[in-house]
Amino acid sequence: MRAKGDSVQTAEPRHKRWHLLGPALSVLLIGSAAIAQTPEQAPDTIQERLLACAPCHGVIGEGTSNAYFPRLAGKPAGYLTNQLVAFRNGRRRYPPMNYLLEYLPEEYLAVMANYFAAQKPPLPAPVAPDTSPQMVKLGEQLIEKGDFNRGLPACMSCHGPNLTGMEPAIPGLLGLRASYISAQLGAWRYGTRTAKAPDCMQIVAGHLTEDDVKAVAAVLASRPAPAKLDPVPKGSYGLPFPCGSQPQ
Amino acid sequence: MRRIAILLGSCAMSLLAATGAYAQNKPADEALVEKGAYLARAGDCIACHTRPEGELFAGGRPMPTPFGTLYTSNITPDNETGIGKWSSDQFYAMMHTGRFPDGGLLYPAMPFGSYTKVTRQDSDAIFAFLRSIPAVKQPNRPHDLRFPYNNRSLILGWRTLYFSEGEYKPDPKQSDEWNRGAYLVEGLGHCAMCHTAINALGGSSESEAFQGGLIPMQNWYAPSLTSNKEAGLGEWSLQEITDYLKTGISPRGAVYGPMAEVVYNSLQYMTDADIRAMAVYLKSLGQGSPPGAARATVTSSESSLLLTLGKTIYDRECASCHGAQGLGKPPHYPPLAGNQSIQMSSAVNPIRMVLNGGFPPGTSGNPQPYGMPPFAQSLSDDEVAAVVTYIRTAWGNRGAAVSAREANALRASPLD
C-alpha cells in the first residue's frame, strides 16, 4: 500500500554507496569500561515528545528548507487533527508519516495538533512567481474571484479574505511553497488525498486544469503575510458549498 | 500485516473495553459477552478482521504474503456475508481444527495453529461476543493468491508438517500463574505466529516455537523468546516485562515495529493478573546466557574507520536522546548499551529503526509516547551502516558490523 505518484520518496538518498564498507565487514570491540552513572530523564514536554517531527517540519512546526515539507505552525487545530487522523488511517498518504502515527490514539493526535496550532513563528519570505504575467493574472483571478462560468468559487470564499483560514478546520494558504500546493491539489485530483465527506476540496481541485494549478500555486507562494496571521473565528462567513471537515 | 492498525470510533472502543472484573453480578449472557470481548482482545481478532476506518469485524483487510494477498473474513453476525448462521459448535470446530463448517480448510494466516489451544468455554464466550456486535452486510473479498497456492488442498501438506490439534494441557509441575501465562501466550496470544521462523504459507513448527524469525513481506525480525541472546527475557525482572507488554515502554527497551500493533490492539487491554502470568511464563522460557563476543573478521584499520564515522554520527544525531554512553533516558528513550534487541545476529531491526524512526504505541499506561525521528531522508547508506555498526559494538555491546548494502536493501521495506 505505497502511495501512488509519491514524488517525495525520491528525496531519500537510496542509491548512494560508499564502497569502503563491504558486507563482510565486522568490527573490533571497543573497550568497555563499566558504566556507573544514573541515566537522565527525558524532559516532560510536548516539544520533546515531538522531536520526531522536527527534521521535516521544524521544532515548532515553522517548516524547513525542504520545499515539500509543509509548515504546521499556526494552522487551525481542527484542521491539523483531521490531517493527522487521515494520515494514521491511511486516507492521506505519505508513508514515513503514515508509519510514525500508526499506533497513536486520537487524543494524542489532538494534543500534537494543539501544540503546533499554538505556535506563531513568522512566515517564510514570499517567493516571486516564476511564471508569465498572464499566469499571475489567472492565479489572482481564481484566488480572489473564482470562475463563475466554470462553477469555481474563489479560494478566498473558503480560505478567507486574507487567506488565513477559518477555525476550526479550514487552513490558511500562506507560507506554503508552490511545489507543496500543487502536489496537494494534484493529490486531491488523483484521489490520494481525501478529506471528510462532502470533500469540497476534491470538487474544487477537480475543476482545476494543470495551468490553473500552476498559476494559483505560484501566486499563493508569492503573497506576503498580512498583519494578522490567525485564522478567523468559526462562522465568520458562510461557505459557497458545504465541507465535511468544517461543521457549519 | 503490519498495517493492522485499527481505527475505531469511540463507541466501538467502549464496546470492546476490557474490564478486569467480568462475570460478577451480571446476567449470565451479559457476563459471557463481556468475557468474550476480553478474550477477543487477547486474541487480537480486531487487528486482522477490521479495516482502518472500516466497520468493526467486517473483514476485508489485506494480508500480503509471499504467495499473494489474503483478505480477512467478515465475522459479524450477518446471515449472508458474515457468520450469522454458524453455531457455537461450528465456531469451536473452526478455532480448534482450522476447518470451515463444510469441512473446507482455512489458510493458516488465520492463526488456528495457536487458537487450537483455546478451551471450549473460552471459544463459546468469544462466539457469544461476536453474536452481540452489529451485523454488517459486506461480502468477503476473494483471496488473490498465485498458482498453486490458490488451491486449498495444499494446506493439507502444511497441516501435516506444522499443525497439531489440541487444547492447552496444563503442566501440573508449574504454578497456576505459569499455566495461565502459557495458555495465553501459546493460545489466544498467537505470539508464535511472528516469533518463530516462518515456513511456507506462514507455518511455524512446534519444535521451533518462539525461536524467532524474519517476518515475510514486512522486513522485521521477530526475535527469539527462548534465547537470552535475542529477546529471551530470562535476565529481565517481572516488572520490566509487564511494563514492556502493557505500556509499550520499559527500562530495558521500547516496543517498536509490528510488536507495536500487538501492544496497541491487544496487550494493553489485558488485566494486570494476566499480563503478570504471561511475564512469569515468558521469563521461564529464556534460556542460555546473554550475547557472547561477536567474531571480529576485519582488519583493525577498516573497523576503526567505520567506528570513527559511526561515532561521529552517533554523537551528532543520537546522543541527545540515547546518551553519549548509550544509557538512554529510560523508559522513554531506551538504553542502547546492553540492549539485546540491537545486538542480535540479524541487524534488520536497528537498521530499520534508524531509517524509519518510530513511536512506541500509545497506551493507557503511556498515552503520549516520545518519538524517534526517521533518518532515511538525511543519512546515506554508509552513514546508516556506520552508526548501526557503532551502536552494535560500542559500550561493550557484542553485535557484528553491518554493511551499506544491508542498509540500502531495507530502504524499500513497506512502511505499512
Q: What integer pLDDT is reported at residue B223 of this predicted model?
A: 85
Asked if residue A216 and residue A137 are part of one domain, the reply reads yes
Asked if residue A95 and residue A168 are part of one domain, the reply reads no
Residue A168 lies in a domain: yes
Tell me the chain A residues in contact with residue B53 when contact means C-beta distances shorter than 8 Å.
89, 91
Asked if residue A205 and residue A102 are part of one domain, the reply reads no
Q: What integer pLDDT is reported at residue A69 of this predicted model?
A: 92
Q: Read off the CATH number of the domain in which A76 is found.
A: 1.10.760.10
Assign B10 a pLDDT band (cuts: 50, 70, 90). Answer: very low
Helix axis angle, B176-186 to B272-285, nearest 10°? 90
Asked if residue A74 and residue A49 are part of one domain, the reply reads yes
- B261, B298, B394 member nearest A25 (Cβ): B298
Residue with cell 468559487: A153
**Residue B414 CB coordination number (10 Å):** 14
Would the CB atoms of A11 and B414 count as touching at under 8 Å?
no
Tell me the chain A residues in contact with residue B389 when contact means C-beta distances shorter than 8 Å.
25, 27
Residue A13 lies in a domain: no
Q: How many domains does chain A have?
A: 2
In chain A, residues 106-135 whose CB comes closer than 8 Å to chain B: 107-108, 111
Rg over CA atoms, chain B = 22
Asked if residue A200 and residue A143 are part of one domain, the reply reads yes
Tell me the residue range of the domain where A239 lies. Answer: 123-248
Q: What integer pLDDT is reported at residue B96 of this predicted model?
A: 98
Would the CB atoms of A54 and B373 count as touching at under 8 Å?
yes
Please name the residues in contact with B230: beta carbons below 8 A apart, sequence gap of 6 or more: B212, B223, B224, B340, B344
Tell me the chain A residues in contact with residue B343 when contact means C-beta distances shorter than 8 Å.
none
State the Cα–Cα distance between residues B72 and B216, nearest whole angstrom: 18
Interface check B415 vs A, CB under 8 A: yes
Chain B interface test: which of A25, A81, A109, A196 (most B C-beta within 10 Å): A25
Interface check A36 vs B, CB under 8 A: no
Contact predicate A155/A142, CB 8 Å: yes
Interface check B172 vs A, CB under 8 A: no
- A23, A29, A35 member nearest B405 (Cβ): A23
The tens digit of pLDDT for each residue in B85-142 reads: 999 999 999 999 999 999 999 998 899 999 999 999 999 999 999 999 999 999 999 9
Which string of DSSP letters, residue by residue, matches B249-269? --SS----THHHHHHHHTGGG
H helix or E strand, kind and range, residue B32: helix B28-43
Assign B232 a pLDDT band (cuts: 50, 70, 90). Answer: confident
For residue A193, is pLDDT > 90?
A: yes
Interface check A97 vs B, CB under 8 A: no
Interface check A4 vs B, CB under 8 A: no
Min Cα–Cα distance to chain B from A1, Å: 7
Collapsing DSSP to helix, strand or coil, B286 comes out as: coil
- B260, B305, B379 member nearest A20 (Cβ): B305
Q: What integer pLDDT is reported at residue B18 of this predicted model?
A: 37
Asked if residue A151 and residue A107 are part of one domain, the reply reads no
Residue where one domain finishes, among candidates A93, A121, A149: A121
State the Cα–Cα distance between residues B180 and B282, nearest whole angstrom: 11
Q: Is the dihedral of CA B317, B320, B324, B325 positive or negative?
A: negative
pLDDT > 90: percent of chain B: 65
Phi-psi domain of B54 (left: phi exceeds 0; alpha: psi -120 through 50; beta: other): beta
State the Cα–Cα distance between residues B13 and B260, nearest whole angstrom: 18
State the Cα–Cα distance between residues B142 and B62, nearest whole angstrom: 11
Asked if residue A247 and residue A134 are part of one domain, the reply reads yes
The ipTM assigned to this model is 0.88
For residue B325, is pLDDT > 90?
A: yes
State the Cα–Cα distance between residues A201 and B42, nearest whole angstrom: 41
Asked if residue A138 and residue A244 are part of one domain, the reply reads yes
CA A131 to chain CA centroid, Å, is: 23
Q: What integer pLDDT is reported at residue A28 of this predicted model?
A: 29
For B372, phi then psi, to 5°, come to: -115, 130
CATH of B300-409 given 1.10.760.10, 1.10.10.10, 2.60.40.10, 3.30.70.890: 1.10.760.10
Provide the number of CB pairs (under 8 Å) joining chain A to chain B: 204
- A1, A39, A49 member nearest B371 (Cβ): A49
For residue A153, is pLDDT > 90?
A: yes
Residue A98 lies in a domain: yes
The tens digit of pLDDT for each residue in B29-77 reads: 999 999 999 999 999 999 999 998 899 999 999 988 878 899 999 999 9
Residue A222 lies in a domain: yes
Interface check A44 vs B, CB under 8 A: no
- List the grid coordinates of B22: 467480568
Q: What integer pLDDT is reported at residue B222 of this predicted model?
A: 86
pTM across the whole model = 0.89
Residue with cell 499455566: B179
Would the CB atoms of A52 and B373 count as touching at under 8 Å?
yes
The tens digit of pLDDT for each residue in B258-297 reads: 999 999 999 999 999 999 999 999 999 877 666 555 554 4
Tell me the chain A residues in contact with residue B263 when contact means C-beta distances shorter than 8 Å.
103
Q: What integer pLDDT is reported at residue A24 of this predicted model?
A: 27
Asked if residue A188 and residue A241 are part of one domain, the reply reads yes
Asked if residue A137 and residue A111 are part of one domain, the reply reads no
Tell me the chain A residues in contact with residue B293 when contact means C-beta distances shorter than 8 Å.
29
State the Cα–Cα distance between residues A140 and A215, nearest whole angstrom: 8
Residue where one domain finishes, among candidates A80, A106, A121: A121
- List the grid coordinates of B165: 490439534
Would the CB atoms of A98 and B415 count as touching at under 8 Å?
yes
Interface check A227 vs B, CB under 8 A: no
Residue A6 lies in a domain: no
Residue where one domain finishes, among candidates A100, A121, A142: A121
Would the CB atoms of A25 and B303 count as touching at under 8 Å?
yes
Contact predicate A245/A165, CB 8 Å: no
Asked if residue A175 and residue A56 are part of one domain, the reply reads no
Would the CB atoms of A95 and B415 count as touching at under 8 Å?
yes
- List the grid coordinates of B278: 504471561
Q: If you average pLDDT over residues A128-140, what whole number do you get?
A: 94
3-state secondary structure chain A: CCCCCCHHHHHCCCCCCCCCCCCCCCCCCCCCCCCCCCCCCCCCCHHHHCHHHHHHHCCCCCCCCCCCCCCCCCCCHHHHHHHHHHHHCCCECCHHHHHHHCCCCHHHHHHHHHHHHCCCCCCCCCCCCCCCHHHHHHHHHHHHCCEHHHCECCCHHHHCCCCCCECCCECCCCCCCHHHHHHHHHHHHHCCECCCCCCHHHHHHHCCCHHHHHHHHHHHHHCCCCCCCCCECCCCCCCCCCCCCCCC
In chain B, what are the domain boundaries? 2-137, 176-285, 300-409
The tens digit of pLDDT for each residue in A55-101 reads: 999 999 999 988 889 999 999 999 999 999 999 999 899 999 999 99
Asked if residue A225 and residue A185 are part of one domain, the reply reads yes
What's the CATH number for B176-285? Answer: 1.10.760
State the Cα–Cα distance between residues A101 and A97, nearest whole angstrom: 6
Q: How far is CA A157 from CA A38, A160, A236, B18, B406, in A?
A: 58, 6, 11, 47, 52
Residue A37 lies in a domain: no
Residue A228 lies in a domain: yes
3-state secondary structure A62-103: CCCCCCCCCCCCCCCHHHHHHHHHHHHCCCECCHHHHHHHCC
Tell me the chain B residues in contact with residue A105 when contact means C-beta distances shorter than 8 Å.
362, 367
Give yes or no on whether B176-285 and B300-409 have one common fold.
yes
Residue A26 lies in a domain: no
- B260, B321, B367 member nearest A105 (Cβ): B367
